[in-house]
Structure 1
C-alpha cells in the first residue's frame, strides 16, 4: 500500500487500531528514563501519545497525511512533533534515545535495511524496538497482513540486528478472541565503546 491507500484507509476507518498502545510496547518500555523518541510509521499516534504522556519528547512520522492530521487532532497541547514523511527516507536531525517501529511492514529486504538504518540514529544507551506481525502469524495465527512477503521471521530481524547488541528477539503470542496472533519483537541497542583497563 502507498500513501494514497493509507490515506483512504484512515478516512474510511478513523481510529483503526484503537487508542491504547500495544501491551508489548508498554511492558518493554516501562521504567526507561525518558528522552527523545521517534515513532516511525506512527499512524494516528497511539504509541506516540503514550510515550509523550510518559515523559518522552516525541517525533511521530508517517507517510499518510490523513493519519498525521488525525494524530494532531488528538494532541491538544501540541506536545508531539508530527511529521508527514516516508520512513524509508526520513531521518532525525540528531541522535535519539528510542526508535519505535510498531507494525511497520515493508518488503522484508527493505525492512531489514530500515531497521539497520534506524539503529544508526541511536544515542549512547538508546534502544530500538521493533514489533510487528510475524511470518509465523501468516501460517499459524490470526489477523495481520495477508502477504507473507512483508512479514519478517526471526532470521530476518537477526540480519537486521547484525552488529547490534540484541536484548530480545522473540515471538510474542497474544490472545485475539479464541485465537492467537503471533507477533515478532526485536529490542536492540548499539554496542558501547570498549572500556580500557
Structure 2
C-alpha cells in the first residue's frame, strides 16, 4: 500500500492501531536509559509517544501525513518531532541511541533498505528493536498480512544486517495473544488465539 492508500486508511477510523505501545517494544525498551530515539514507520506514533513520556527525545517518521497528524493530536503536550518520509529512503541527520521499527511489512528488498537505514542511524552502542508479523504466522497463527512476501523471520533481519558489526541481544519468534475480533455474539466465550511475531534486538558495535 502506498502513502495515499495509508492516508485513506488512517483517515477512515479514529485509531488504526491502539494508543498503547506495542508490548514487545515496551518490554525491550523499558531497561534502556532515555536518549535520542527514532520510531521508523511510526504510524499514529503510539511507540514514539510512549518513549517520549519516558524521557526520550523522539522523532516519529512515517510516509502518511494523516497518520502523523493523528499522532500529534494523540500526543497532546508530549513533545515528539513528526517527520514525513519513507522508511526505506530516510536517513538520520545525526546518530541516535535507539531505532524502533514495528510492523513494517515489506518485500525483502525494501525491508533490507529500511533495516540497514535503521542500523546505520545508530551511534555505536545504540539499539535497534524490530517487531513484525513472522513468516510462520501465515500457517500457524492468526491475523496479519496474508502475503508471504511481506512476512519475515528474525533470521531474515539478521541476514539483512550481515557484515555490519553488532551484538544480538534477542532474535526469534514470540507469541502474541489476540482476542476474538468484534463484539458479536458468535465470538462470546471464544478463547484468545495466538499470533506469531518476529522480534529482533541488536546493539551496534
TM-score normalised to structure 1 length: 0.93
Question: Hey, what does 1:171 align to over in structure 2?
Answer: 173
Match of 2:195 among 177, 181, 195: 181
Looking at structure 2, the residues matched to 17 and 139 of structure 1 have their Cα atoms a distance apart, in angstroms, of 24
Looking at structure 2, the residues matched to 188 and 102 of structure 1 have their Cα atoms a distance apart, in angstroms, of 14
Secondary structure of the residue that 1:10 maps to in structure 2?
helix
Displacement, 1:78?
A: 5.6
Looking at structure 2, the residues matched to 29 and 75 of structure 1 have their Cα atoms a distance apart, in angstroms, of 19
Asked whether the 8 Å contact 1:49–1:75 carries over to 2, the reply is yes
> Is 1:88 the equivalent of 2:103?
no
Q: Deviations over 1:5-41 (max 9, x none)?
A: 1001001122111111111111111121010000001
Secondary structure of the residue that 1:70 maps to in structure 2?
helix
> Is 1:52 the equivalent of 2:66?
no
Secondary structure of the residue that 1:17 maps to in structure 2?
coil
Looking at structure 1, the residues matched to 12 and 121 of structure 2 have their Cα atoms a distance apart, in angstroms, of 34
Asked whether the 8 Å contact 2:90–2:117 carries over to 1, the reply is no
TM-score normalised to structure 2 length: 0.89
Bigger drift between 112-121 and 164-173 goes to 112-121
The structure 1 segments of at least 4 consecutive aligned residues displaced by more than 4 Å after TM superposition are none
Matches within 5 A, 1:96-175: 96-162=96-162, 163=164, 164-175=166-177
Displacement, 1:158?
A: 2.1
Q: What is the count of residue pairs matched by the alignment?
A: 191
Asked whether the 8 Å contact 1:161–1:188 carries over to 2, the reply is no
Task: Quote the RMSD (CA, aligned, Å).
Answer: 1.2
Looking at structure 2, the residues matched to 21 and 190 of structure 1 have their Cα atoms a distance apart, in angstroms, of 24
User: Please, which runs of 5 or more residues in structure 2 have no aligned partner?
Assistant: 180-191
Looking at structure 1, the residues matched to 19 and 109 of structure 2 have their Cα atoms a distance apart, in angstroms, of 31
Asked whether the 8 Å contact 2:134–2:173 carries over to 1, the reply is yes
Q: Deviations over 1:88-128 (max 9, x none)?
A: 11111100000100111111222123212210111122100
User: Please, which runs of 5 or more residues in structure 1 have no aligned partner?
Assistant: 192-197
Looking at structure 1, the residues matched to 33 and 78 of structure 2 have their Cα atoms a distance apart, in angstroms, of 22
